[in-house]
Homo-oligomer: A and B are copies of this chain.
């Protein structure tokens, strides 16, 4: 197997090292990188250029590894590689979430494979497991922590008693968060990964942008403390449920109780918990990012391509789009924190709205300690009800503008 690598960043460098140490039968032949000239030391014995044709036009290269990131250039590279008869391994979830439907069709028409283990949950071999061992299983539920940056931020907010902004700044300094963190903290990275996962599970294409998404930017230090008081932790969760033939999914910050295995997934770790109709509960946990863990997933794709070279595993074709059902039709318990004016009758007004919407209250707590004078935090836990009812009540509570200053709500995972 002769490999051409686009993009010699951290992961690309990790891959080069693994290939050199582990696998003489897989040879890195050429590298295309914008700043290849400054990386001569790493490239001993490997052709390098900033010209994409170095790899695309080299007929001796049978496999392309795309680690450039971004969309437009990556799309050109992947399409051209396939047109030129090469298989592709990519870690680019944004590219696949945006253009995957067309790209997988295109690859299938050309009898080529696009492998993407590294695109979802770093080192966790979830793609390969769904594609092989669980290919004939009916996965009815999936719940995952698939974004390391947000899990790192939420973990440090709790452990070090810091605000969202303080941790984000520290994470940016350490290279654990991007200068523009929107993709991660807005939940969009998790949304893309959930789209790919649910496409694999259902065999129909899921459009990432159709998946409801909330990020973690509104989570405050107070919510983290409140969660702890009830033995919960806040996680950004990507969730899929198959209920009576309907496919529900969303990305949302949620309260996770200590009985739930996701409670213990800390820092930049990722985890996927799913339920198979016959095989029951499974948890896969591993590093969600990092030089070698991610490079190892790319490497494992190369190994599998090499093994399959003699007789390719049948490619699962995705030829239809999956209709996504309305998550508001499912049920959940909720945590609701309201910052209100500290005056008589406020709680009564709120309780009445909840009651009118058939929302049953599990507990109510008030706390003056972390707020300004004349204000108070009210924390309400509801029993599980249809989400739509809760959203309606929330809208009505929000309309009490003279007394309700601010609210944060989180579903509570069962």
**Interface residues in chain A, defined as those with a beta carbon under 8 Å from any beta carbon in chain B:** 14, 18, 22-23, 123-125, 128-129, 132-137, 261, 263-264, 269, 271, 276, 278-287, 290, 292-293, 295-297, 299-300, 303-304, 307, 310-311, 313-314
Does the CB pair A279–B293 fall under 8 Å?
Answer: yes
Q: Can you list 22 contacts pairing A with B, beta carbon distance less than 8 Å?
A: A22-B136, A23-B136, A123-B279, A123-B280, A129-B129, A132-B132, A137-B296, A264-B264, A269-B281, A278-B292, A279-B286, A279-B287, A279-B296, A280-B287, A280-B290, A280-B293, A281-B285, A281-B286, A282-B286, A283-B284, A284-B284, A307-B313
Given the complex of chains A and B, what is the CA–CA distance between A295 and B278 in angstroms? 8
Cα A241 to Cα B138 in complex, Å, equals 36
Residues of B within 8 A of A269 (CB): 281
A280 contact set on B, CB distance < 8 A: 123, 286-287, 290, 292-293
* Choice from B129, B134, B261, B313 contacting A285 with Cβ under 8 Å: B261
A42 CB to nearest chain B CB (Å): 17
Contact residue among B128, B137, B261, B286 (Cβ-Cβ distance under 8 Å from A264): B261
List the 7 closest A-B pairs by CB distance, nearest first.
A311-B311, A283-B285, A279-B296, A278-B292, A278-B296, A125-B133, A280-B287
Q: What CA separation (Å) do A176 and B135 show in the bound complex? A: 30
**A133, A287, A307, A310: residue with the most chain B Cβ atoms closer than 10 Å:** A133
Q: How far is the CA of A279 from the CA of B289 in the complex (A)?
A: 10
A261 to B261, CA, bound (A): 8
Asked whether A132 and B304 contact (CB < 8 A) given A284-B283, A293-B279, A296-B137, the answer is yes
A189 to chain B, nearest CB (A): 20
Complex CA gap A263/B310 in Å reads: 44
A285 x B286 contact (CB < 8 A): no
Given contact pairs A278-B295, A280-B293, A310-B311, A300 touches B133 in the complex (Cβ within 8 A): yes
Query: Cβ of B283 and Cβ of A18 under 8 Å apart?
Result: no
Minimum distance in angstroms from A144 CB to a CB of chain B: 13
Complex alpha-carbon distance, A292 and B292, angstroms: 36
A261 to B23, CA, bound (A): 32
B residues within 8 A CB of A303? Answer: 133, 135-136
Least CB distance from A50 to B in Å reads 28
Bound complex: CA A284 to CA B134 (Å)? 14
Contact B123 A282 (CB under 8 A): yes
Q: A123-B280, A125-B129 are in contact. List 10 more A-B contacts (CB 8 A).
A: A18-B278, A123-B276, A133-B303, A278-B295, A279-B287, A280-B286, A280-B287, A281-B285, A285-B285, A307-B313
Which B residue sits closest to A123, measured CB to CB? B279
Contact B293 A278 (CB under 8 A): yes
Question: Which residues of chain B are near A129, meaning CB under 8 Å?
Answer: 125, 129
List, in ascending order, chain B residues with CB within 8 A of A137's CB: 296
How many angstroms between the C-alpha atoms of A276 and B132 in the bound complex? 21
Task: Report B-chain residues with C-beta under 8 Å of the C-beta of A125.
Answer: 129, 133
Say whether B128 contacts A132, CB under 8 Å: yes
For the complex formed, measure the closest distance between the CB of A140 and the CB atoms of chain B, giving whole angstroms: 13
State the CA gap A135–B307 with chains docked (Å): 12
B278 touches A287 (CB 8 A): no
